[in-house]
Amino acid sequence: MSDGRHPFANQRIAVMGLGRAGLPAARALQRLGATVRAWDDTPQALVDAREAGLPTGPLDDLAGFDALLLSPGIPHTLPAPHKVAQAARQAAVPILCDVEFLFRAVRATGSSARFVGITGTNGKSTTTALLGHMLHVAGVPHAVGGNLGPAALDLPMLGSDGVYVLEMSSYMLERIATVRFDAATMLNLSADHLDRHGDMAGYAHAKRRIFDRQDSSCVGVIGQDDALTAATEVSPARLVRISAEQPQAGGVWAEGTQLRDDAVVLADLARAPALPGSHNAQNAAAAAALALALGVSRENIAAGIASFAGLPHRQERVGVRHGVVFVNDSKATNADSAARALACYERIQWIAGGIGKAGGISGLAGNFPRIAQAWLIGRDAEIFAATLALHGVAHRVVGTLEAAVAEAAAAARAGETVLLSPAAASFDQFANFEARGDRFRALVANLANGKAA
Q: Which residues are catalytic?
A: 124, 147, 193
Q: Give CA separation, 190 vs 113, 337, 339, in Å.
A: 32, 9, 12
Q: Is there a contact between 342 and 349 (Cβ–Cβ < 8 Å)?
A: no
Amino acid at 193: H
H helix intervals, 253-366:
277-293, 298-307, 335-342
Q: Where are the alpha helices (DSSP H) in 52-193?
A: 83-90, 98-108, 124-138, 170-173
Burial of 1 (0-12, 13-18, 19+ CB in 10 A): exposed
Distance from C-alpha of 442 to C-alpha of 453, rounded to nearest angstrom = 8
Nearest to 263 by CA among 223, 213, 314, 298: 298
The three-point CA angle 153-24-138 to 5° equals: 40
- Kindly state the greatest CA–CA separation across the chain: 69
Is residue 163 within 8 A of residue 196, CB to CB? The reply is no
Strand partners, 167: 118, 146
> What whole-number distance in Å separates Cα of residue 32 and Cα of residue 10?
11
Counts for the chain of helices (H) and strands (E), in that order:
15, 21
Taking residue 79's Cβ as centre, other Cβ atoms within 10 Å add up to 10
Helix, strand, or coil (residue 234)? coil
Adjacency order of strands within the sheet including 371-377: 316-321, 324-328, 417-420, 348-353, 371-377, 395-399
The span from the CA of 54 to the CA of 68, in Å, is 15
Of 71, 265, 268, 104, give the one whose Cα is nearest residue 177: 104
Q: How many Å apart are CA 323 and CA 341, to the nearest integer?
A: 19
Nearest CA to 352 out of 398, 406, 411 is that of: 398
